[in-house]
A and B are shown apart, each in its own frame.
Chain A
Amino acid sequence: MTEIAAPRRASIAPRRIPWPIVPFAIMLAVLVAMTVFAPYVAPLDPNQQNLLARLKPPGHVARGVTYLLGSDELGRDVLSRVIYGARVSLSVAFASVVLSGIFGSLLGMVAAFYRGWIEIIIMRIVDIVLSIPAILLAIITVAVVGPSLYTVVIVLAFTRWPRYARVAYGQTLSVANMPYVRLSRFMGAGWPRLLGRHILPNIAGPLIVVATLEFGLMVLFEAGLSFLGLGVQPPTSSWGAMLSVGRNYVATAWWIATFPGLALFLLVLSINLIGDYTRDRLDPRSR
């Protein structure tokens, strides 16, 4: 999408990674590292309250403790909560992408491979689920099942699998009739071998592109659901929930909402940039 698409001449030599990607890739790596090592990186316990140090601005020092990004309405350290919030964001997004990716790809492949009524049923369901705005589907599902970390993952996976199914379906259709696949079938290969060994490796590229772009969307969805109170429940720190609280203190304590929002923005921005880049690399037809 950026400036990579213009000249065609460099198609044989490996293209250099365009410079704007690098800082964002590093940022993403740092965020992931922060997630993994949250207990060592975070200066304070994210749930430790200090009612004497409520709503203090960034840089505030109280009893030998520095609140680098300020403190929230219960005197908890905003920086520590942002770091722990990354954990929730990334793990929910990762789990839902993996879950919906596997489920959707498998169904899409099966639909294209078997054709007939299986194809009709699966692809009709894909159309239906895709036609419901994802956030509405998520809202009603959470309203029925009740909010929790696991519900969010299941709900996100449930609303997003058709994206993968559609791509896997289209790709499998074009691969399934290739001579080598027919030959392999003729030689007696069963469907697990055909799908796993011969078809999946050939359709993995576009699926990975979808997964990368979906990842950013999943981060936003999780934050959105938590913002509405339908996601991760307090006291677990989540960026969406922090923003929701921060909204009420925007006039008096701007830092509560600003920093988790900034973290969210930077995370999604780097994922989108890297996603665009992988798409340009793996799928030259799309611009």
Chain B
Amino acid sequence: MSAFFLKRTLQAIIAVMGVITLIFFLQRLSGDPTLLLVPQNATQADIDALRHSLGFDRPLVVQYLDFMRNLLSFDLGRSFVQNVDVTTLIWSRLPYTLMLAGGALVVAFGIGIPLGVLMAVRRDKPEVRPMMALVLACQSMPTFWSAILMILVFAVWLGWLPPSGAREPASLIMPSIALGMLSMATFARVSRTAVLDELEKDYVRTGHAKGLPMRRIVMRHLLRNASIPVVSVGALEIANLLAGAVITETVFAWPGLGQLTVQAINARDFLVVQGVVLLGSVTAIVLNLIADLLYSLIDPRIRVGGDTA
């Protein structure tokens, strides 16, 4: 058991190192990394001075080790455009993105799972068809389009909700729905498949034979067994939500990490982009790891099987 934990954790650490290495080399791919960091109006002398002060004229190996060491001490560098530490910038925006992701998760879990269970339990009933259509539509709906439509209907035409910003609690409603929709569809599909699989098991038949009502079979027995794939997908979906926030935040002018990233790209503030991407990737890897470990805690057979890749 602990061997599995250890192996999986080691894999995650290797993945984190790999991401860092990838980003380091991506930066060098552009030719001169200094050019990514300077403001557009910098003179050649500025560029040369910066290159030297940042150590970009040293051997690649030294730079690489330096890059690693800085990251280990949570030093993501300093934004030359805004003249603030990247860590400070990220820290100031992080709560907003977490709030948005939380809201989206409530939408995704709260609607997706009951919908999926319902679609599975009543699989042959006619009312399932519109639900399937809804799930399929949500899955194909580009976030930025559904977001704009919502702004059009609920903010412009009806005037119920604020169109953008984060000044009042009601501002959170539309971004959460827009961001949560795709995950909602995923949760619905996964929980539907999981419940369908469980419905064929013997214990369900036993329950029926005992005369248990369907509701009780599902609530007491089936959901616990069906929850395994949902948990694992859940962790991955949180990572997807954090990444998807980039677009949602742009549409709604929500002051989170996504908006910070887009502003940083437009201002050629590379270190900020790099910081957010690193944070997002490491979060994704950690969530992945948690999902795998949780999975093996719930279902011991997985540890025996071993291979999770």
- Chain A residues at the B interface, C-beta cutoff of 8 Å: 1-2, 6, 123-125, 127-129, 131-137, 139-145, 216, 220, 223-224, 227-230, 240, 243-244, 246-247, 250-251, 254, 257-258, 261-262, 264-265, 268-269, 272-273, 287
Contacts and interface: CB of A to CB of B under 8 A. Distances in A.
Interface string B221-243: 00000000000000000011011
Contacts of A223: 142, 144
A224 B247 contact: yes
Given A128-B19, A132-B284, 16 more contacts: A6-B124, A132-B281, A133-B280, A135-B247, A139-B261, A139-B265, A140-B23, A141-B26, A142-B265, A224-B247, A229-B262, A250-B152, A254-B156, A258-B148, A268-B142, A269-B140
B139 A272 contact: yes
| Nearest 9 interchain pairs by C-beta | A261-B145, A133-B243, A128-B18, A269-B140, A268-B140, A132-B281, A140-B277, A136-B277, A257-B148
Given A125-B18, A144-B26, A144-B27, A139 B277 contact: yes
Interface of B: 11, 14-15, 18-19, 22-23, 26-27, 29-30, 36, 123-124, 132, 136-137, 139-145, 148-149, 151-152, 156, 163, 189, 193, 196, 239-240, 242-244, 246-247, 250-251, 261-262, 265-266, 270, 273-274, 276-277, 280-281, 284-285, 288, 309
A238 to B, nearest CB: 13
Contacts of A127: 11, 15, 18, 309
Nearest to A272: B140
28 contacts: A123-B309, A128-B14, A132-B19, A132-B22, A132-B281, A133-B239, A133-B280, A133-B284, A139-B265, A143-B36, A144-B27, A144-B270, A216-B140, A223-B142, A224-B143, A227-B247, A228-B247, A228-B262, A246-B148, A250-B163, A254-B152, A254-B156, A257-B152, A261-B145, A264-B145, A268-B140, A269-B140, A272-B140
Q: Which of A6, A144, A250, A273 has the most CB of B within 10 A?
A: A144
Nearest to A146: B30
Nearest to A142: B265
Contacts of B189: 1
Nearest to A287: B193
A257 B266 CA distance: 22
Given A140-B26, A227-B247, A273 B36 contact: no
Interface core residue of A216, A258, A265 (most chain B CB under 10 Å): A265
Contacts of B246: 135-136, 139, 228
A227 B18 CA distance: 29
Contacts of B285: 131
Nearest to B261: A139
Contact of A131 (B123, B124, B284): B284
A257 B149 CA distance: 8
Contact of A272 (B136, B143, B144): B136
A250 B26 CA distance: 37
Contact of B280 (A136, A244, A258): A136
B15 A131 contact: yes
A150 B229 CA distance: 38
B236 to A, nearest CB: 10
A123 B11 CA distance: 12
Contacts of B142: 220, 223-224, 243, 261, 264-265, 268
Interface centre among B124, B144, B149, B250 (most CB of A within 10 A): B144
Given A247-B251, A265-B145, A133 B281 contact: yes
Nearest to A273: B136
A224 B149 CA distance: 16
Contacts of A129: 22
B29 A136 contact: no
Contacts of A250: 148, 151-152, 156, 163
A128 B142 CA distance: 26
